[in-house]
Amino acid sequence: MKKALVSVVLAIVALIAVVGGEIVLALRRDYLPTGPTLEIRGVFGSSSAPKLEFVVLGDSTAAGVGAGSAARAYPSLLARRLAARGRRVELTGFGASGARVTDVLREQVPMAMKARPDLVFVGIGANDVIHLTPLEEFDEDMRAALDRLRSTGAVIVAAGVPDMRAAAFLEPLRTLVGWRGNRVSAVIYEAARASGVPAVRLAEQTAKYFVSEPDKSYSEDDFHPGPGGYERWADAIYPTLERALAIESTGAAQGGT
């Protein structure tokens, strides 16, 4: 019995040592620079079409890191698709590299409210996964952010965190970060449900592409998505935006009737 217990303890210590070493290696990696920042804004569609003020909040992915250009960042991809349905989309992105949910609540939400949006997409949580934001704190800030945004009368859509099992991480760290990402996503889904906000299950819908086609999905740092990865994200997010807008339009029409 004693030998078995010692073996278990030694295995745990060894695992901790391995994970600790992998964390050090992950921190020392060269990731994509966050500057110069891309200007995630623009007007898409015909000037005579109905206007849609579209705001995107989030972290480095919302800021287009890894996309190579603003045109290939996922907010621009979404704006272009929304405009293709007969709208004049005015896009404003407030995403910032390194942002966590508390930054969205305290800094980005006030800016979004001033923009008087018709549609807001919130993609946050990856940095909270990595920096181990307590789930209770994340939940509180996420709910507050969604409730404040809903008070604008805009259509709000959120997303869970992407698959955090990035190619930049070694095993078993990769699996542990992925597990942590799932926990944060579960908090996002529950907060969105409580606020009446539709949520995109981003990891579930896009992970297979990053696993099977890493060269086409990741940027050169194997952490941020590249242009191909952002296209996959847009594929996952866009249908929920359209459904949310359709529901809002139907509800407004019924109310008017």
**What is the token pair recorded at 5?**
């217990």
How many CB atoms neighbour CB 132 within 10 A? 9
DSSP letter, residue 106: I
Examine residue 8 and state whether it is found in any structural domain, yes or no: no
Q: How many helices (H) and strands (E) does the chain have?
A: 10, 6
Examine residue 102 and state whether it is found in any structural domain, yes or no: yes
Domain span at residue 240?
A: 38-247
User: What is the number of domains present in the chain?
Assistant: 1
Quote the CA–CA distance of 22 and 180 in Å, as a whole number: 16
Supply the angle between the helices 74-83 and 227-256 in degrees, to the nearest 10: 40
Examine residue 155 and state whether it is found in any structural domain, yes or no: yes
How many CB atoms neighbour CB 72 within 10 A? 18
Examine residue 227 and state whether it is found in any structural domain, yes or no: yes
Q: What is the CATH number of the domain that holds 172?
A: 3.40.50.1110
Its pTM stands at 0.88
Give all strands (DSSP E) within 59-202, no chain letters. Answer: 88-93, 119-123, 155-159, 199-200
Examine residue 257 and state whether it is found in any structural domain, yes or no: no
Q: Mind listing the pLDDT tens digit of every residue in the chain (257 residues)?
A: 555 443 333 333 333 433 344 443 344 445 566 667 899 999 999 999 999 999 999 999 999 999 999 999 999 999 999 999 999 999 999 999 999 999 999 999 999 999 999 999 999 999 999 999 999 999 999 999 999 999 999 999 999 999 999 988 878 888 999 999 999 999 999 999 999 999 999 999 999 999 999 999 999 999 999 999 999 999 999 999 999 999 887 755 555 44
Examine residue 30 and state whether it is found in any structural domain, yes or no: no
Examine residue 252 and state whether it is found in any structural domain, yes or no: no
